[in-house]
Amino acid sequence: MKVVISEFMDEASVASLSEQFNTVYDPGLVDRRDDLRALLSDARALIVRNRTQVDADILAAAPALEVVGRLGVGLDNIDSESCQVRGIAVIPAVGANALAVAEYVIGTAMVLLRGAYTRSAETAAGQWPRADLSGGREMAGKTLGLIGFGGIGQLTAGLAQALGVSVMAYDPMLAADSPIWGQTKVRPASLDEVLTRADIVSLHVPLTDQTRKLIDRNTLQRMKPGAILINTARGGIVDESALADALRAGSLSGAAVDVFDNEPLPKESPLADLPNTILTPHIAGVTLESNIRVSALIAQRVAEHLQGKIK
């Protein structure tokens, strides 16, 4: 049976699959759709990250496909409904990269609050901007507001609390009396409370019709003056032009953005060259350790699925 892997995967997990199946591993396939379609003509499994669009075109080219493994958790690049209709299993790596994302949120929040670590070139050049950089803020005593309180949000809350941060969260999918609130010591809040009271707002929701442009010009205006926004969820959740305007106006003091409307980020993006802004190329959940965990989980789950079909 044939397994096609179209984006980067830990080599040990690729080797594990190769021992069991006819495995084609080519991380460049994501940018060569014709080659990918050809390889899928007799493939039983496809493993992707977030860039491979598993759409109607790709699915039509894969008549024998039984399972799609996702090296990550977001499924907006996969036509899950069509997969369900055809009986194709879609397997995300739930939980395997959660710690990497949680650490990214806390790390970038601390950098943005302090406001000093992105200006080392000035010190190296002898400018000595000590007065300018003496107004940085500490993490302890701040309030973190989470929009979405699944596994990643819960891990983020725990790391923040260890630093003396108060945490509130908005998640309409969780009841106010859910035991998770007591277990995590996080206060359930409305969206408006999170926006108006949090010093740091971090997004942890999937991209759906309900969350698309959830953070728009109106929501940004409701945020606490001087607050920080962190988006490791999906680009379409934030209105990028509105965010750029808020950062330029100084109503927000900073932002860390790992996901964008269009990826790779276009040079003409409104988010380019903004003050106190950290832009990263969709890597919040990708570390050496998380790549090993994610790859191993998907390799195991895909292999189990295919072996189950054999039996």
**Residues labelled as active-site residues:** 234, 263, 282
Q: What is the DSSP string of 205-266?
A: ----TTTTT-B-HHHHHHSPTTEEEEE-S-GGGB-HHHHHHHHHHTSEEEEEE---SSSSPP
Q: Please list the residues that pair with 67 across neighbouring strands.
A: 45, 89
> What six digits make up the tokens of 27?
């991380």
Whether the CB-CB separation of 188 and 176 falls below 8 Å is answered with yes
Q: What is the DSSP string of 50-117?
A: SSS-B-HHHHHT-TT--EEEESSS--TTB-HHHHHHHT-EEEE-TTTTHHHHHHHHHHHHHHHHH--T
